[in-house]
Structure 1
Amino acid sequence: MAEVVFTFETFLTIVISLLIITLNCLILMVACWTHSFRNVNRCFLFSMIASDLFMGIFVTPFSIFNSLYNKWIFNSNAFCYIEGYLTAIFLISGLYSLTWMNVDHYVAIRKPERYKVVMSAPRSACWVIFAWIAAICFSCPPLFSLKKARYYAEAFICVIDAKPQRYYFLTAGSLVTIPCVLTLVFTNVYLFTKSYQTRLNIYQRVFTDRATRPWNYHISMVVSVVYTATWTPFCVLRLYEVAHNYQVYTPTLLHFYFFWLGISNSFIKFFIYLIMSREFRDGLYEVFNAGSLDCSCSGCASSSSNVNINHITNSKMDYMKSKEPLQNV
């Protein structure tokens, strides 16, 4: 059996895996047990956090053992294929969920009087289901056979092997990512337009119960920028290799650090919420003082208790208050 060697890369994989699991569990606890994220669509939030958490549970921990032995140590190649497909599924579903969160904020600011109809809970759930189905279909083993994954030794992880059908995967990947990227750009650029400032003034006067929504929109923009910044180096590196038909030499450590920089995006959201969201900090304080918590999902309770009873009434009142000012705009 190969000798066990504990390297700095092993240490990083352990730290990143623990951070992904721990910090995403804390976000879920804050979202479920407190009244934080009141003006965030929780369907999209839970979908995004779930994709990150699953990455830390079903993918990254196995890289720890691979880095210790500096090779693929599991006997079954089918396990490598499954890990490669799961990695793609979680990455794509996370990107779609982040995109829909930005769209949700855009609609809430741009058309607040129709928001509860356009982005209702059933419709949001449908979009989440669509996001996961799209991710699964892109990575579905029956479509590409069970022999289109490989062990990415530089990063100690299994990935879908695009070499046999390079141009097909470039096309399919573009169809998956480009619409999301364009949507993220459009919805985030809207924050800097005059139209947003006009709508913001109306929003703050009329929809006082949703006063934190604009700031949550800005937080989602920061999450989007960080997501792009963490994955861009790895994507550029891989495209550079593809453009040169994999005939160029790139340092092994460059592959490792660029890939795991992208994976680290799965826990960086916690620190963004911690720094930018006072609601999240208050909710986190409540979680750590668990003795005062009801330990029942506040999001679930709100859908079946008093909040839901007044949902239609509040929607009508908001619409009547906003109708006249919006017509003047």
Structure 2
Amino acid sequence: MSHPPPLTPQGATIVVESRNFNFSTQDSSATNPNASDSVRDSLVYSEKSELSRTGHTVVAVFLGVILLLGFISNFFVLLLFARFQVLRTPINLILLNISVSDMLVCIFGTPFSFAASLYGRWLIGDQGCKWYGFANTLFGIVSLVSLAVLSYERYSTILSYTKADPSDYKKAWLAIAGAWLYSLVWTMPPFFGWSSYGPEGPGTICSVQWHQRSSGNISYVTCLFIFCLLLPLLLMVICYGKILFFIRGVAKTNQLSAHRRETHVLVMVVSMVSCYLLCWMPYGVVALLATFGQVGLVGPTTSIVPSILAKSSTFLNPIIYILLNNQFYRCFLAFMSCGSEPTGSHTLCTLPSSRVTGPNGNSPCPRGAWYIPWYMQAPGQ
């Protein structure tokens, strides 16, 4: 008997037939009085989870494009890190962590769902499905948490009015380790009975079993939505909102090109938050509908679209967060022209907004000026 779709950051989708899978529900029925309801819901869903050959082909095309773009863009980011020493700063380690987690999805996730879509069925068995679901959920949450940590680091750097110490990597490594540990905390429970991993959507992908109606699964999906999707989003909105507020204060001065910088920061902030919402919020909403809505409300087609959007973050992240910022833009030009390594990250100083210096008084700009770090500057500034 096949299980239904789940809530996973990097989820994709597939159709699983009962003759191809024999996922046991013995554990849940032994511990949960509502297990029979969960089994019945799974059966109802499986009857509606058929996807046509054309549908599988369309999904395979989208996944193939995402796989190609995601691998190339993240590989190029890693290449820039290896090529240019100027990029190896503490805050850039967080960017590198995002790229690494996305690359791992491109290696251990998308190829399997792509192949499954080509054949119209899952290809690597019960245990392979469970480990696929675990690995892609893990990498996806690491990426989401790292995006939130990055927003906080940018916020704290700007509001401290000081240039970050390029030799202090301890805080960045702790943040990266914390992101992986946080993700493990939320992705290991299905192996110990709190929810489970299994086939999702039309059966060509595996993730958390968000269609099961047991109390344990409902609580797990709810916690996953709150602590791994909404919480990072809230932190991003608060941090980038405050950054934008202070940048707008700078733009009110008569400083030359201040308005241009404000516009760039606004576009950057809107792009970051919009990308997060576009890639992850549909998946989270569909997961909640499948968990709390009427049985069969979320069919294979409905679940495929948000799954593909979630996968698309693997190539959108490096474009928005890395390849379009000032420092990487300079390294990109140097790489393409086979030139020498560009100079280190620089600062822009403008007139102050409401405060003059940071608490330690150690500003890279003259007294009374306001520090804008390189990652909040437009390419060419």
User: Relative to structure 1, is the Cα distance of residues 176 and 257 closer, same or farther in structure 2, using a 3 angstrom cutoff?
Assistant: closer
Contiguous gaps of at least 5 residues in structure 2: 1-18, 21-52, 345-359, 371-381
Q: How do 1:75-224 and structure 2 match up within 5 A?
A: 75=125, 77-113=126-162, 115-116=164-165, 120-140=168-188, 144-145=192-193, 148-154=196-202, 156-162=204-210, 163=212, 164=214, 165-173=216-224, 174-193=226-245, 195-198=246-249, 219=268, 222-224=271-273
Residues 2-27 of structure 1, C-alpha deviation per residue, up to 9 Å, x if partnerless? 9x987222121111112111110111
SS of equivalent to 2:362: helix
Q: Which residue of 2 aligns with 1:237?
A: 286
Confirm or deny: 8 A CA contact 1:150 1:160 kept in the other structure.
Answer: yes
Query: How has the CA–CA distance of structure 1 residues 28 and 282 changed in structure 2, closer, same or farther, with 3 Å as cutoff?
Result: same
Match of 2:118 in 1: 68
Distance 1:54-1:216 versus aligned 2 partners, 3 A rule: farther
Opposite residue 144 of structure 2, the aligned amino acid is: L
TM-score normalized by structure 2? 0.65
Q: Which moved more, 1:104-113 or 1:225-234?
A: 225-234
User: How many residues are treated as equivalent by the alignment?
Assistant: 296
State the AA in 2 paired with 1:191: I
Contact map agreement 1:33 1:293 (CA 8 A) in 2: no
Please give the TM-score of this superposition, normalised by the length of structure 1.
Answer: 0.75
Q: How big is the shift at 1:130?
A: 0.7
Change (3 A) 1:42 1:321: closer
Of 6-15 and 85-94, the range deviating more from structure 2: 6-15
The alignment's C-alpha RMSD in Å is: 4.0
What's the offset of the Cα at 1:246? 2.8
**CA distance, structure 1, for counterparts of residue 265 and residue 90 of structure 2:** 7
2:79 to 24, 29, 35: 29
Q: What's the CA shift string for 1:268-311, capped at 9, x where partnerless?
A: 13443688435434423433445x568xxx99xx9xxxxxxxxx
Given the superposition, is the C-alpha separation of residues 82 and 216 from structure 1 closer, same or farther in structure 2, using an over 3 Å criterion? farther
Distance 1:137 1:19 in 2: 30
CA contact 2:221–2:288 (8 Å) conserved in 1: no
* Aligned with 2:368 (options 311, 315, 325): 325
Residue of 35, 39, 42 corresponding to 2:92: 42
1:179 positional shift: 2.6
Structure 1 segments unaligned to the other structure (5+ residues): 206-211, 303-316
For the 8 Å contact 2:278–2:309, the answer to whether it is kept is no
* Sequence identity percentage: 18
Alpha-carbon distance in structure 2 between the residues aligned to 1:278 and 1:98: 18
Task: Quote the offset at 1:228 in angstroms.
Answer: 1.3
SS at match of 1:319: coil
Whether the aligned pair in 1 keeps the contact of 2:229 and 2:280 (CA below 8 Å) is: no
Quote how far apart the aligned CAs of 1:80 are.
0.8
1:106 corresponds to which letter in structure 2?
Y
The 8 Å contact of residues 283 and 310 in structure 2, kept in 1 or not, is answered as yes
Partner Cα distance (1:27, 1:285) in 2? 13
CA distance in 1, matches of 2:296, 2:112: 29
Q: Residue 148 of structure 1: CA displacement?
A: 1.5
Checking the alignment, whether the CA contact within 8 Å between 1:51 and 1:94 is kept in structure 2 is yes
Residue deviations 1:63-93 (CA, integer Å, cap 9, x gap): 1221122111223x11111110111111110
Q: CA deviation at 1:216?
A: 7.3
Q: Deviations 1:154-177 (Å, cap 9, x if unpaired)?
A: 272110224242332134312333
One-letter amino acid of the counterpart of residue 175, structure 1:
F
Structure with greater helix percent: 1
